[in-house]
Structure 1
Amino acid sequence: MRKADMTSVLYTHGSTPVVASQVDQRLHYCLHVPLDLPSDRLAPLVVIQHGTGRTAQKYRTAMRDFADQHGAVILAPIFPAGLIDPDDVHNFKFISYRGIRFDHMLLTIIDEVAARYPVDAHRFYLHGFSGGGQFTHRFLFLHPDRLAAASIGAPGRITQLDDSLPWWLGTKEFEQRFGKPIDLAAIRRVPVHMVVGSEDDDTFEINNPGDSNWMDGCEKTGLTRIERLQTLRRNFEANGISVKFDLVEGVGHRGMGVLPTVRQFFGDLIAR
């Protein structure tokens, strides 16, 4: 292999540097791309959406062995804090923020990745924890046709499928807001995983009336992230959506602590 080719592979395969999105260079992503992707099929694409701390590279690195084992590409988007408002840390969680549609941004980043690598961009696997879990279940409402599976990890604030509740507590006027209706039949076809640690019981960050990410009524969904995810599970099941629910013993609010169950969930589906 020529030295130039070796240099190219060094930065485009394995764990890549952080890359600026071409659609909006304020947004970034990193990848793990196995050196030996399968040649007889498109590689599964697994998207790991960070939470408030934007620890995308940490999640990407934690999924390297999974990627190599399953011949999958890992994509970890990075949606920085401080976009437009320097004090904002929540932007992507609620999908639409000051003219930025983060669901559209993710889909465009996926298109950029698919232009460079042989991945199945049409239907991908999506996991997010905490703020990423908020993004994941709202993305599911908008784009179930693009998801091979959705894994929702410990969201502090949930959106129920309930047209009597205003967005983002519920889905009232969803079509007017997002330009498309919720397709329940399509959502029911997506394998859904919910996961939270058995010791994820801190409440100071999620019970914060008056903050920018609070709506009155949020407290009715539960005191802890465990209770809120259980509320979301009941809401999904009442709407005919099957859920695999994992309560991970001995784990608090740590995305890395629940990641083994996510790897198992996605791995079983990919193996089929």
Structure 2
Amino acid sequence: MNEPKSERIYFAYGPTTLYACQYDQRFSYYAYVPKSYSEGKSHRYSLAVVVHGTERAAATYRDEFADFSEETNTIIVAPLFPAGITEPRELSSYKFVDFGGIRFDLILLAMIDEVCGTYGLADKRFLLHGFSGGGHFVHRFYYLHPEKLLGVSIGAPGFITYLDETRPWYAGISDFEQRFGMRLPIEEMRRVPVQMVIGGEDLETWEINQKDSPLWLEGLDAYGQTRIERLRGLRDNFQNNGIDVRYDEVPGVSHEGFKILEPVKAFFKDALAARSLEGDVSSCNPN
């Protein structure tokens, strides 16, 4: 009996299906490709990555950036890091980038390589935003790979890694070189546009102050009890280390990721405009 040949779709437009990452098929990603996309056009298509929070609403985040995608010729990638990867029913491993023997930053870079290779993007750097659990992930990714980023938007993380040489990862960076085999790339970090964004009413504290949690580390509350206090602390911490920060508090919004996306899109547009002024388009090389 002849088996059916597998279907191979080279390009998809608009909202794509969920694709398994070939580097590690436990993880997957959605994309949105502008309907104007054409392999033969001279447009420079950009790339933006939006990382979900604990609720794993990756497809919704992808859809929320469809208008931005069409307006700016930007391909959107929304990775999905499933719960229960490192142990049954766990929710948070991806947030810490390096957890349970998995390097989630390298998984994201593999996804980027796949998209970059499929669509032949002209610039291998990308915009990056995450809210809540995604905010955890993106600021730690920024510490490791600033050279990959056109801009990073850090949305309302609860447990924050400060540039603090007195505390270990992930409350600080005292053991960063030992853990990751590299020095903190502070000069490269200073060259990346940074946004911090949070709702002006993001004041609940119960979830981020459970000191009996196995994820709790001494020093996570050193800058305050609320997400706002802690993010303001990170802003000041960055600025004291020579990193400029665009800081947005959205009035009347609590811990609601979809309600803070307009300033994120504005920040992304500014970062793309800055890239355009550089006049530097490097070829996409998955290797």
Q: Under TM normalisation by the shorter chain, which class is it?
A: over 0.9
Deviations 1:126-181 (A, max 9, x none): 00000111111111110011000000000001101112111111001101101211
Separation in 1, partners of 2:24, 2:8: 24
Alignment of 1:93-104 (within 5 A): 93-104=95-106
Aligned CA-pair RMSD? 1.6
Tell me which amino acid in the other structure corresponds to 1:17.
Answer: T
Q: 1:149 aligns with which of 112, 126, 151?
A: 151
Alignment of 1:117-266 (within 5 A): 117-120=119-122, 122-266=124-268
Cα 1:120–1:97 shift into 2, 3 Å: farther
Deviations 1:220-253 (A, max 9, x none): 2211100000010010000000000001001110
Moved >6 Å (runs of 4+): 7-11
Q: CA deviation at 1:122?
A: 2.1
SS in 2 for 1:93: helix
Separation in 1, partners of 2:120, 2:74: 10
Tell me which amino acid in the other structure corresponds to 2:12.
Answer: T
8 Å CA contact 1:44–1:72 kept in 2: the answer is: yes
What residue ranges of structure 1 are gaps of 5+ in the alignment? 1-6
SS in 1 for 2:208: coil
8 Å CA contact 1:152–1:195 kept in 2: the answer is: yes
Separation in 1, partners of 2:44, 2:181: 31
What residue ranges of structure 2 are gaps of 5+ in the alignment? 1-6, 275-287
Separation in 1, partners of 2:172, 2:221: 13
SS in 2 for 1:149: strand
Cα 1:58–1:11 shift into 2, 3 Å: farther
Separation in 2, partners of 1:54, 1:106: 15
Matched with 1:4 is none
8 Å CA contact 2:51–2:134 kept in 1: the answer is: yes
Separation in 1, partners of 2:10, 2:90: 35
Count of paired positions: 266
8 Å CA contact 1:125–1:150 kept in 2: the answer is: yes
Tell me which amino acid in the other structure corresponds to 1:170.
Answer: G
TM-score normalised per structure 1: 0.94
Matched with 1:23 is 23
Separation in 2, partners of 1:119, 1:203: 42
Cα 1:202–1:120 shift into 2, 3 Å: farther
Tell me which amino acid in the other structure corresponds to 1:166.
Answer: P
